[in-house]
Amino acid sequence: IQMTQSPSSLSASVGDRVTITCQASQDISNFLNWYQQKPGKAPTLLMYDAIILETGVPSRFSGSGSGTHFIFTISSLQPEDFATYFCQQYDNPPYTFGQGTKLDIK
């Protein structure tokens, strides 16, 4: 299953609303994770089952979609949100990742 994530990079300002999309090459139901990764660190899970916020993750993060089209949204960017974001499907192995979206400060 191929995961096509867009955009690959994004410049935004604190307070902006940003959206990242992930398209699966076939129906993966809701078997999708979203991760955040900061430089030199391991990824951290933000959302699972496409729409469920992991415990402790701020509510400004949200996800939607099912089947093949998924959207990840940050409603109001905070300084600590500038990082790289990845989607990942876990419908069937291999559990493929999107290419990543690098979010930086405008």
Partner 1 sequence: EVQLVESGGGLVQPGGSLRLSCTDSGFSFSSYWMHWVRQAPGKGLVWLSRINSDGSSTSYADSVKGRFTISRDNAKNTLYLQMSSLRAEDTAMYYCVRDSTTVVMTYWGQGTPVTVSS
27 CB-side CA count, 13 A: 2
Minimum Å distance from CB 99 to partner 1?
5
Measured from the CB atom, the residue of 73 and 84 that comes closer to partner 1 is 84
The 52-53 sheet, strands edge to edge: 9-12, 101-105, 84-89, 32-37, 44-48, 52-53
- Is 61 a binding residue for partner 1 by CB under 8 A? The answer is no
Binding mask 10-49 for partner 1 (x = CB under 8 A): ---------------------x-x-x-x---xxxxx--xx
Select from 6, 16, 62, 90 the one that contacts partner 1 (CB under 8 A).
90
d(CA 3, CA 31): 12
| DSSP state, residue 68 | T
Q: Tokens representing 105?
A: 């400060």
Binding-site ranges for partner 1 (CB under 8 A): 31, 33, 35, 37, 41-45, 48-49, 54, 86, 88, 90, 93-100
